[in-house]
Amino acid sequence: MGKIAAALQEALKRRRERGEAGRAVGRSIAAGQGWSVSDVTCTSGPQDRSFEERHTRPTIAIVLAGSFQYRSPLGRGFMAPGSLLLGNAGHCYECGHRHGEGDRCVAFYFQPDYFERLAADAGARGANQRFPVPRLPPLRPLAALVARAGVGAIGGGTPGVPWEEVGVRLAVGAVKLAAGLSWHDGALPSHAELATEAGRVIDVALDSGFGDISNFNRAFRTEFGASPRAYRQRYGTAPPNAR
């Protein structure tokens, strides 16, 4: 992702040299029946005002570089490289850069009926076909798709990247993971079960789909009010090699 971050810094440098206000510029990469994908570079920073916008269709954006704050009716989230921005059609949203300048994303847009079919393939029905959360943190099951999207962005929409396949897999995975399910194995074991099984906390975090232990610890503490280690000490028997 180094080339992507470098390209973002070049865009920010040009904006500063020209004395321009920050803005988001999208470049279409590919499109098909019911879907499209764009490479979006935003050069906004703390000095720029945030504006409310509206998702006109189901949206999944992979953050490749930079960071920003995202707010929608589903809540607020800090978007960092590897995380997924999730948007439901009709929802208003706002992005801001209070703590830094710029970001670059690959954004997938789906026609509602097309997305409904993908969500149904993921096992979602009715209201469950809409995202229940505003974002997904960097997760191990999505790492390959994030990397492939990054390669495609570097190549300027490389013809060899199967964009529709990436979009389909991304949509199915996002629907399942946002609902707390495993993308591969059906129901995801509860954090309580994971915290009390034999194994190091880092292994438990990776096996449950989290990209690193800090994201796992944060999610666990939010749900159970204690760290995985403290939960084990209180309710389970930690094995000698757990740490």
Residue 139 DSSP label: B
Residue-level pLDDT, tens digit, the chain, 243 residues: 578 888 888 999 998 999 999 899 999 999 999 999 999 999 999 999 888 899 999 999 999 999 999 999 999 999 999 999 999 999 999 999 988 899 999 999 999 999 999 998 888 877 678 999 999 999 888 888 888 888 888 765 555 678 998 899 999 999 999 988 877 533 334 444 444 444 556 665 555 445 556 656 665 665 556 676 776 666 554 433 333
| Measured distance CA(61)–CA(65) in Å, rounded | 12
Ordered domains of the chain (ranges, CATH): 2-183 (2.60.120.10), 191-235 (1.10.10.60)
- Write down the residue that tokens 């798709």 correspond to: 145
Q: What is the reported pLDDT for 199?
A: 53
User: pLDDT at position 51, please?
Assistant: 80
d(CA 201, CA 196): 10
Rounded Cα distance between 187 and 180, Å, is 8
